[in-house]
Amino acid sequence: MAARRTHERDPIYKIKGLAKDMLDGVFDDLVEKNVLNGDELLKIGESASFILNKAENLVENFLEKTDMAGKIFAGHIANSQEQLSLQFSNDEDDGPQKICTPSSPSESKRKVEDDEMEVNAGLAHESHLMLTAPHGIQSSEVQDTLKLCPRDQFCKIKTERAKEIYPVMEKEGRTRLALIICNKKFDYLFDRDNADTDILNMQELLENLGYSVVLKENLTAQEMETELMQFAGRPEHQSSDSTFLVFMSHGILEGICGVKHRNKKPDVLHDDTIFKIFNNSNCRSLRNKPKILIMQACRGRYNGTIWVSTSKGIATADTDEERVLSCKWNNSITKAHVETDFIAFKSSTPHNISWKVGKTGSLFISKLIDCFKKYCWCYHLEEIFRKVQHSFEVPGELTQMPTIERVSMTRYFYLFPGN
């Protein structure tokens, strides 16, 4: 029977002691300089206790595994000092510094050359931590295959609800297109490891729904805009009934980050740019046809949860009154809305983070695909989106709430898989 470890020889005890001594000094200084107050310190203490308890279990598990696992784990701990020095090396910078563990010496040199390496407002929070997902996701069974819509049901809905739904073209002669843009490698931000899982799963889903998928990876904001314009001009849209635009990247409140994004020199594709490229004026081939935007990206640094809230938000909107009044009637043309038939489904609410869990991919994309496979044979698109939202309704440690935005769809959109 193995002897019980004493505190003096227990590596976990030593690590906890060192961490406690270091953090005590840090928090004393933060309180002394009025950076943190008592309530904030209490919240941090509760979070630190949770992490420490979980870390102890993790260390003990690794000690029982192979030497290689121990080396990998020890290597990440050894890099913590370097990461902290990177984060706090420049107090005058305009945003949080990038904390990274380079995969090679050459990569380390390239990524440390610029003292502005950073993550803007929560970009680092697209986490790989194996924490608890929302209860709706934990409890539901994953749908392995896409459930097809019976032909008789397709014909019935298409006939009886013809005035309420978007027209669906017959499979023969239909040329549906979908675009996936996924940024995985970044110059200044964390690389989005394991994003290939989301790509493969989303590509498979769209192809099973009858879309030919165009995949583009690792683009700047300008390159993304160029690809969108080229995609909008594809002749296949004339004989298509809809399109999907899928974006997977880091993000901020203002939009999707390109691969060169940093605080002092933003590289961001704004939502307005996307909608403008595909509006009724610039993309006539998709006029009166559903245009579905799926966006997997953080939108800020917060986790989207509260304990108590009594305040109410105030929203305002500005109108270009002069421009509105300058519009004149012209009997030779037909008036049309500039922007219709759009819907955007984003992985989180504004200002908040979006989670990615290890090799299984992002929570949002995983649940979205699962709901499509289960329900798109009988439900319209917006109802499917609501089912995705419902699965996130009860928060776990990993908390986010997917959000339906900028909806200008005038009818219901059914995908009718198999038809």
Active site residue 250: yes
If phi over 0 gives left and psi between -120 and 50 gives alpha, with beta otherwise, what is residue 186? Answer: beta
Instruction: With residue 53 as reference, give the H or E element that holds it.
Output: helix 38-63
CA pair distance 216, 225, nearest whole angstrom: 12
**Cβ atoms within 10 A of the Cβ of 283, count?**
21
d(CA 177, CA 206): 9
118 phi and psi angles, rounded to 5 deg = -160, 170
Looking only at Cα atoms, what is the longest distance across the chain? 95
Query: Which one is catalytic: 298, 371, 376, 380?
Result: 298
- Judged by DSSP in three states, 382 sits in helix
Q: Is 298 a catalytic residue?
A: yes
CA–CA distance, 80 with 126 (Å, rounded to integer):
19
Q: Which of 250, 261, 283, 376 is catalytic?
A: 250
- Of 413, 252, 276, which Cα lies nearest the Cα of 348? 252
Task: Please spell the DSSP secondary structure of 162-211, one letter per residue.
Answer: TTTB-----STT--EEEEEEE----SSS---TTHHHHHHHHHHHHHHTTE
β-bridge mates for residue 295, sequence order: 247, 346
Tokens of 233: 């001009």
- Name the residue among 310, 339, 360 with its Cα closest to residue 407: 339
What residues act catalytically?
250, 298
